[in-house]
Chain A
Amino acid sequence: MTAVGVSEPVLAPAGSARLLQGLRRDGRAVSLDDHVSRYGALEPAGDLVDLVARAGLRGRGGAGFPTAAKLAAVRDARGRAVVVANGAEGEPPSGKDKVLLAYVPHLVLDGAVAAARCVGAREALVAVSPTVLRPAEQAVSERRASGHDRGVTLRVVAVPDRFVAGEESALVQFLNGGPALPTFTPPRPFERGVGGAPTLVQNVETLAHLGLIVRFGAEWFRSAGTIDEPGTALVTLSGAVRVPGVYEIPLGRPLRALVGDAGGLSADVQAFLLGGYFGTWVDASAAQTVQLADAGLTRHGAAVGARAVVALTASACGVAETARVARYLAAQSAGQCGPCVHGLAAVADGLEQLVQHGRRPDHGRIRRSLAAIAGRGACSHPDGAVRFVASAYRVFEAEFDRHLHGRPCTARTSSVLPVPSFGAAA
């Protein structure tokens, strides 16, 4: 035991600042000692599967799969399991996983160790974006130096920052010495993953919540969020807000309130992008009543995904922004599956013709391509891209119409959505 004595009981975090309550003002990572005095030491838990099922924790990486089911599948699979903490956050508008690893890495590592003990793994690999390799490694050496995690070895691995690298099967193939590209499933990682072993791949934020559930229990976890989607979650908010950044919200928080947390809007906003580049556009008036939980969003054809939210200023053109991201997503295709390679390129070509050259594209062709791509890749990259572009057609109907009729683009602001220079993907 480190700094916490019997006389100094650790209180479960109240309110919705659970993961981010301990952030240091100087921007340095929270040390192991400070982490343990804030949250208490991580004790071995009883039946973690049952505990996590009662808590109702779902994956925070985008797909929202029930964590207990994944834990049980790997625990019950034959062979010595491996745990992978997935911090490969290749999505440009998302920063939450990097924030956890850079500033409160021990929350993530606690969860990785607890998960490893649950599924009987001796090794937990922490897969991270290259930018947060150093803080993650420092946190692991701190723990190693103090003999903190008996029976579990933590190892940090940097994963190339490409969009599909964080997809489960891509991550497993990379950790096995191959390229960071998706593979055809089955087998899924829980059946045969790293080194052929049953492998639990969990998003780093999911693991951070897990480490707190082990300490404070299922009831505590459920004291924030909604009945169907309990707990808090990290949101990466950017675009036309006064203080862009990563926020922790109880699931179900109104988008309006989140914008308030960020100091309000910094300009007139025409639409919000919810759920990042696999997500959906929602127009500003509909966004007034949106709550950040999947239950309320399905009505808008949206889902919270990995909770990257962008407020699009009214001075930008939704069609131009969508075209830029469509081109990026086409370039980020792993290049393995024909319908994704050709389909996303065709969609991007059509949108660019519309925006850049004032030429009238074969509109039917874009729509036909969209319809032909979904569900036909080895991973969900084409499906996500299709969802994103299709939502733009719904929300930016007037702008599409302007462009279609050859009228000039009204955009006074360009390149709002972040798109890294591409072509150099590893």
Chain B
Amino acid sequence: MSDLVLRVNPIKCDGHGLCAELFPERIELDEWGYPIVDGEPIPGELEKHARRAVAECPTLALLAMRRNGLAPA
């Protein structure tokens, strides 16, 4: 288990939905198309998928954080 968590900046997020396509293991969309992210730590084997979803977000709204300090990971 890594100490990586995902967080959405809901002001930046426009609901493109790419993150849910790239990381369906942990991200689903609500009925309006906005991602639901639970803030639980991402297991090490899924970290690559998580980072890809973060990198591909067209509005840079998906953030990877360290669980403890909230500093960008």
> Is B10's CB within 8 Å of the partner chain A?
yes
**Closest CB-CB distance, B34 to chain A, in whole Å?**
4
The answer to whether A186 touches B34, judged by C-beta atoms less than 8 angstroms apart, is no
For residue A336, CB closer than 8 A to chain B, the reply is yes
* Interface secondary structure of B, over-half rule: loop
B9 at the interface (CB under 8 A from A): yes
A337 & B36 in contact (Cβ 8 Å cutoff): no
Q: Which residue of B lies closest to A182 (CB)?
A: B11
A231-B68 Cα distance, complex, nearest whole Å = 35
Which single residue of chain B is at the shortest CB-CB distance from A369? B31
- The answer on a CB contact under 8 Å between B34 and A183 is no
Smallest Cβ-Cβ distance to A368: which chain B residue: B31
CB pair A339 B34 closer than 8 Å: yes
CB < 8 Å: which of A183, A186, A339, A377 contacts B30?
A339
Residue pair A372, B11 in contact (C-beta under 8 Å) = no
The answer, among A182, A369, A376, A378, for a CB contact under 8 Å with B34, is A376
Q: Are A338 and B36 in contact (CB under 8 A)?
A: no
Proximity bits, A102-137, B CB within 8 Å = 1, else 0 = 000000000000000000000000000000000000
A357 at the B interface (CB under 8 A): no
- CB-based contact B31/A372 at 8 Å: yes
- Bound complex: CA A378 to CA B13 (Å): 11
Contact with A along B5-28 (1 / 0, CB 8 A): 000111111110000000000000
Cβ-defined contact, B34 with A338, below 8 A: yes
Q: Please indicate the chain B residues that have their CB under 8 angstroms from the CB of A336 in the complex.
A: 10-11
Of the candidates A184, A186, A369, A372, the one whose C-beta lies within 8 Å of that of B10 is A184
Interface set, chain A 374-414, CB cutoff 8 A to B? 376-378
User: Taking the complex as formed, is A343 at the interface, i.e. its CB lies under 8 A from any CB of chain B?
Assistant: yes
Known: A343-B32, A376-B10, A378-B9. Contact between A338 and B15, CB under 8 A? yes
The CA of A88 and the CA of B66, in the complex, are separated in Å by: 35
Please report B residues at the A interface, Cβ cutoff 8 Å.
8-15, 30-34, 36, 70
Give A contacts to B, CB under 8 Å.
Answer: 182-184, 186, 336-340, 342-343, 368-369, 372, 376-378
Q: Could you write out 21 A-B pairs with CB less than 8 Å apart?
A: A184-B9, A184-B10, A186-B70, A336-B10, A336-B11, A337-B13, A338-B10, A338-B15, A338-B33, A338-B34, A340-B10, A342-B32, A343-B32, A368-B31, A372-B31, A372-B36, A376-B8, A376-B34, A377-B10, A378-B9, A378-B10
Q: A339-B10, A339-B30, A376-B8 are in contact. List 8 more A-B contacts (CB 8 A).
A: A183-B11, A184-B10, A337-B10, A337-B11, A337-B13, A338-B13, A369-B31, A378-B11
